Amino acid sequence: MNREKTAVLLFREDPKEGLPPEDMAELRGLAQAAGYTVIAEVSQRRGRDRRFQLGRGKIAQAASYEPEKLIFNDPLSPGQIFNINKEFLLQPMDRFNLILEIFASRASTREAILQVELARLSYEAPFVKTMESLKKLSERPGYHGSGRYDVSMYRDITGRMAKIRAELQGVEETGERRRKRRREMGFDLVALAGYTNAGKSTLFNRLASEAVAAKDQPFTTLSPTTRAVAAGDRRFLLTDTVGFIDDLPLFLIKAFRSTLAEIVEADLVLLVVDLSDPPELLRDRVASCHEALWDCGCYAPIISVLNKVDRIDPEVALERSDLIRDLAPNPVFISAREGTGIDALLDMIGEKLPPLVEFVLRLPSSEDGLKQLSRLYEVAEPMEVRYGEEIEVLLRGRREIVAKALKGAGTPLMKPGASPPEEGSLEADERAARG
């Protein structure tokens, strides 16, 4: 048999609870997404084996298929990896390493490549000392061994991690400046989030009339993609981001901080849920998404978007929404593939975005006044303009954006029909505008 890109999946079942079939299906999907042909699945109901994770006999059974990789659903310790490799001459990997391999194969931008490398090094760093200690155990010089072999390698890894973090810090700062500039241009920021393969990219394509890759496999999107979308009289920038997964390790969240900042800094988050998931799996996945959002530091308002209603009956959709009502209140039912419910979603986005306020501004009837008017056209919606001794503008926009556009001009701001406030600072005028 050709061993290239073949794998055997190994599962350790809890002696009391067993193993949910969804866990087996998810690992199988991850392996296939990484390009492996799964030639067998081996499971054992027992407690954790200190040396091999599973019993020696079960690993020997998996090795008899002569795969390229043994993929374990449970995390492997450095000692277990060393023992399995030495005993069976096969390369073992666990679920986290499989995810990293998928990320590495999908990374196409410099930012994504660096984030994947940082995640891999963060995962491998604690392994290095243990692995090298085991390999060099009989070669260490000095009393009880000095450990200088693995210390040197560990120092190389931590040095590389520091360089990557410094470069990604620059990426984060660039992203922050970009988001600030977009807000100053009058755009609201909306981010898509959700469990991997929930349909985020399909929804992104539907809302933004785009054609980004949307495949029935996990982690199709690694690098954020942003496009402008109109929702009634509102305009916002929609960003598609990386999907979450159950028990997403913290080191992976930290490594992808610059990407996840698009979610953290958003004005509104659309949490996409695959409503066609089995009931026992649905709640766990929504809870995993909320946990990941919490770990990211996301506190933005959330709209729960229950996707793929075209795959289930309406009665079933309502039952499943009741199952997650505490995690997904006031949901919107949609089918991103068919376009069902998109108008209702856009209406809710318009309601949840920061409110627009109407202002009357009086600008000087001069070249400077016309320049200010031009600037306002870029960040707000002028509804009426009257020219006379002064330029009087009725417009609608976000208070802080309009105030920033006219900062230092001392321009009075007020509600339509209100008496003109006294001349003063922009901040004083802004308070007057609140009525």
- Whether the Cβ atoms of residue 235 and residue 186 lie closer than 8 Å to each other: yes
Asked if residue 38 lies in contact with residue 79, where contact means CB atoms within 8 angstroms, the answer is: no
Helices then strands (H, E): number in the chain?
15, 14
| Nearest CA-CA partner of 82 in 129, 122, 117 | 129
Residues sharing a CB contact under 8 Å with residue 249, sequence separation 6 or more, in sequence order: 96, 123
Domain boundaries, the chain: 6-103, 107-168, 186-352, 357-433
Tokens of 69: 């990789």
User: What is the residue-level pLDDT of the chain in tens, covering all 435 positions?
Assistant: 444 689 999 988 877 776 666 677 888 888 888 889 999 999 888 888 888 889 899 999 999 999 999 999 888 887 888 889 888 988 898 888 888 888 777 776 787 788 888 888 888 777 776 666 656 555 555 444 444 444 577 788 888 989 988 888 887 788 778 777 777 666 788 999 888 888 888 899 899 886 555 555 555 655 678 888 887 777 888 988 877 877 666 667 766 776 777 888 888 999 999 999 888 889 988 998 898 888 878 888 899 999 999 999 999 999 999 999 999 888 999 999 999 999 999 999 988 887 777 777 777 888 877 777 776 766 666 677 888 778 777 777 776 666 666 664 444 444 444 433 333 333 333 333 333
CB atoms within 10 A of CB 329: 10
Q: DSSP characters for 332-371? A: EE-BTTTTBTHHHHHHHHHHHSPPPEEEEEEEESSHHHHH
The fold of the 357-433 domain, in CATH, is Alpha-Beta Plaits (3.30.70)
**Domain 186-352: what homologous superfamily?**
P-loop containing nucleotide triphosphate hydrolases (3.40.50.300)
Cα-Cα-Cα-Cα torsion 334, 340, 345, 347, nearest 10 degrees, comes to -160
Which one, of 82, 79, 88, lies nearest residue 56 by Cα? 88
In sequence order, what are the beta bridge partners of 359?
Answer: 395
CATH superfamily membership of 6-103: GTPase HflX, N-terminal domain (3.40.50.11060)
Give the pLDDT score at 20.
Answer: 64
- pLDDT the model gives residue 8: 93
Please name the residue that has the structure tokens 């499971």: 43
186-352: same fold as 6-103? Answer: yes
- CA dihedral of residues 213, 217, 219, 224 (deg, nearest 10): 20
pLDDT score recorded for residue 381: 67
Render pLDDT for 94-130 as a digit per residue (tens, 0 to 9): 888 888 888 777 776 787 788 888 888 888 777 776 6
At 421 the pLDDT is 35
Question: Regarding beta strands 390-397 and 91-94, do their DSSP bridges make them parallel or antiparallel, or are they unpaired?
Answer: unpaired
